[in-house]
Amino acid sequence: MIFEEILNKVLKTNSLTENEILELLKTDKPQKLFAAADKVRKKNVGDEVHLRALIEFSNICKQNCLYCGLRRDNKKVDRYRLEPETIIDLAKKAKSYGYQTVVLQSGEDPYYTSDIMSQIISAIKKFDIAVTLSIGEKTFEEYKVYKDAGADRYLLRIETTDKDLYEKLDPQMSLENRKECIQNIKKLGYETGSGIIVGLPGQTLESIAKDILYLKSIPVDMAGIGPFILNPNTPLNDKVKSEKLKVELTANDQNNFELALKVMAILRLLMPDINIPATTAMETLNPDGRMIALQSGANVVMPNATEGEYRKLYELYPGKICVTDTPYKCRFCIESKINSIGRSISQGKGNSKSKEIL
């Protein structure tokens, strides 16, 4: 009965305690949770799905996160970076396919200076398209340069708010600096996106509950929730190193998929009008993953608009979907899937309801 009481409370107040979030995360019958989130989504952000064209322009990264396939010390990755003219051309093509937003994503590649990024952003803005950046930790001054050039949104996932776990999995990085970066993004007036990885080795439900409350406290305009998928070319696949990290690799893909859906649904209930993507990783774990997510509170999809061999080289995790498809095929394939569940593609830029940037 307590599950029903908690669900009724959040539907009335959009607020939950940490313990109440824990009860929802622990439920073994989550369909009521998903249905409630879908109803709240429909009421607050409607049936239109916002498409964001994802351009993965460099898989070079100076960081060494233990769970990430792009980590600096992974020697099994064929590295690449796209020239500014190529990135701009991909954005122009995305606009011609009907996208109203591009997401420029990369590892933390020092090649792309503030001046280079400013030129790319300024050029893309001429296509009357929103620009989201997902390029990692930068200084306040760098974030300001991007904003002044026309960038509208910035996505920087917190990954986990568990300090010990964060600094174990992200060597030479600090949770405090990550949080400061997110606050700087917020201060500069970006639509602010963050999120977590669900199912990280060593992660607890208690820490996930804290993560959810952290995202609400910012508050985010967009929350990206991805299930953890083990990459065999990372230290987390090495039992000896894993023992040194004192983490257990007990993550189960399907458990992570369902748990990620629960987190996403709870965030929709707590923050009814934010944008929540149905992430690509969900479809890596379940052939219908993105459509299930769209029926559990999500309202955004980010199809890959990168061309050619680079689609498969941006390998954060194994089994990434659609790596042999073209951007054109992806665009209209996803539209067909979205139409099949009774939803439609938005013709607008999908701005946060709390901001009217464009």
Task: Please write the tens of the pLDDT for every residue from 312-352.
Answer: 999 999 889 999 999 999 999 999 999 999 999 999 999 98
pLDDT score for 251: 44
pLDDT at residue 248 greater than cutoff 90: no
Query: What are 267-307's pLDDT values in tens digits?
Result: 999 999 999 999 999 999 999 999 999 999 999 999 999 99
pLDDT at 255 over 70: yes
Task: Report the relative pairing of strands 191-198 and 130-134 from DSSP bridges.
Answer: unpaired
Q: Average pLDDT in the 56-85 region?
A: 97
pLDDT digits over 84-94, tens only?
A: 999 999 999 99
- The token pair at 152 is 């509208």
pLDDT value of residue 242? 64
Look at residue 160 and tell me whether its pLDDT is greater than 60.
Answer: yes
Q: pLDDT value at position 319?
A: 87
> Would the annotation count 333 as a binding residue?
no
Instruction: Specify the range with the lowest mean pLDDT, choosing from 54-68, 134-148, 342-356.
Output: 342-356
% of the chain surpassing 70 pLDDT: 94
β-pair partners for 275:
222
**In this predicted structure, what is the pLDDT of residue 275?**
98
- Domains of the chain with CATH codes: 2-341 (3.20.20.70)
Q: CA–CA separation, 284 vs 303, rounded Å?
A: 13
Q: State yes or no: 336 annotated in a binding site.
A: no
Query: What are the beta bridge partners of residue 104?
Result: 55, 133
Helices assigned H by DSSP within 46-136: 84-96, 114-125
Provide the pLDDT confidence category of residue 247 given band limits of 50, 70 and 90: low
Q: State residue 91's pLDDT score.
A: 98
- Mean pLDDT over 3-11 rounds to 96
| Secondary structure of residue 186 in the 3-state scheme | helix
Q: What is the pLDDT of residue 356?
A: 47
Note the pLDDT of residue 244: 67
User: Given this model, what pLDDT does residue 254 score?
Assistant: 72
DSSP code at position 48: E
pLDDT beyond 60 at 239: no
346 is in an annotated binding site: no
The whole-number pLDDT of residue 358 equals 36
Question: In this structure, are residues 219 and 213 in contact, taking their beta carbons and an 8 Å threshold?
Answer: no
Annotated ligand binding at 159? The verdict is: yes
pTM across the whole model = 0.95
Question: What tokens appear for 319 in the block?
Answer: 């089994």
- Alpha carbon 245 to chain centroid, angstroms: 26
Tokens for 201?
């080795």
Q: What is the largest distance, in Å, between two alpha-carbon atoms of the chain?
A: 58
**Is 65 one of the annotated binding-site residues?**
yes
Query: For the chain, what is the mean pLDDT?
Result: 94
Check the annotation: does 68 bind a ligand: yes
For residue 357, name the pLDDT band (cuts at 50, 70, 90). Answer: very low
Q: Is the pLDDT of residue 134 over 60?
A: yes
The answer to whether 14 and 271 are in contact (CB under 8 A) is yes
Q: What pLDDT does residue 316 have?
A: 94
